Every structure is written in C-alpha cells, then in structure tokens.
A = this chain, B = another copy of it.
Amino acid sequence: MSRKYIDNPNACTLVHTMNTIGNKWKPIILYLLSQGPLRFGMLNLLVPTISKKVLSTQLKELENDDLVSRTAYAETPPRVEYALTQKSKGLLPILKALSEWAEITYPEIDFEQCRIADHQLKEE
C-alpha cells in the first residue's frame, strides 16, 4: 500500500479547520465582520435567527481561536465591539473562494432566499 493516512497530514489540518470554522454560524459571523467591526446587538440583528446564547458562544470560541477580537467599552449601557484579527483576515480570500465555488457549482440554488432575513431588520 503506497498511499497511507500517514502520508496525508494535510487531511488533518483540514479536519482542524472544519472543527474551527465549519459550523452553522461561524462563517457567516466572520463574513459579516469582514466589512468592519460590529457590536453584539448588531450581529444579532444581522443574523436574526441566531439566539443570544449561541451568538455569545460562537464569539467566545472565535475569540479563543484568535479569529475575533473583543473590545468592551466601560459605558452604560455596555458597548462591546467585535472585529477580525490578523489570523481571520488571512481566511477571507479563502471564504470568498468557497462562496464563489458554491455559486458556480450549484447554479440551480437560489442563494438570494436569505433575503427573508431582511423582514426582521429595522432601519438604523
């Protein structure tokens, strides 16, 4: 047997990457932050179907993996801003490539349907 799992450490890094960002919410969070820092409440507005608990968990995990930075301002009511880090900025072109790949590969899927989320958004 010439081809062995042992010869494929790349597969391991892939598994790790998927464990890190390959879940239901993290790609979308990273994508939204790619356009600038956002507050907790604004993230919650932009992704109306995520619960505060889950959003909190995801952000904490992203912070642990150094993919998101958290800045709390000592005000009342509190203000907390989340932003991308150097590590996650390196990920952006890859996320973009994944996005384009899906668009090209599955032209029959209407990705615009996400717009339903718009109904739940308020104007600023």
Residues of A whose CB lies within 8 Å of any CB of B are 1-6, 8-20, 22-24, 27-28, 31-32, 35-36, 45-48, 87, 90-91, 93-106, 109, 111-115, 117-118, 121-124
Chain B residues closer than 8 Å to A4, beta-carbon distance: 46, 118, 121
A113 to B16, CA, bound (A): 12
Q: Are B18 and A117 in contact (CB under 8 A)?
A: no
List 20 A-B residue pairs with CB atoms under 8 Å apart, sorted by A's residue number.
A1-B122, A2-B124, A3-B36, A3-B46, A4-B118, A5-B47, A6-B114, A8-B31, A8-B32, A8-B114, A11-B27, A14-B102, A16-B109, A16-B111, A17-B98, A18-B22, A18-B23, A18-B27, A94-B94, A97-B97
By DSSP majority rule, is chain A's interface helix, strand, loop, or mixed? helix
Residues of B within 8 A of A97 (CB): 93-94, 97
Taking CB atoms, residues of chain B closer than 8 Å to A111 are 9, 12-13, 16
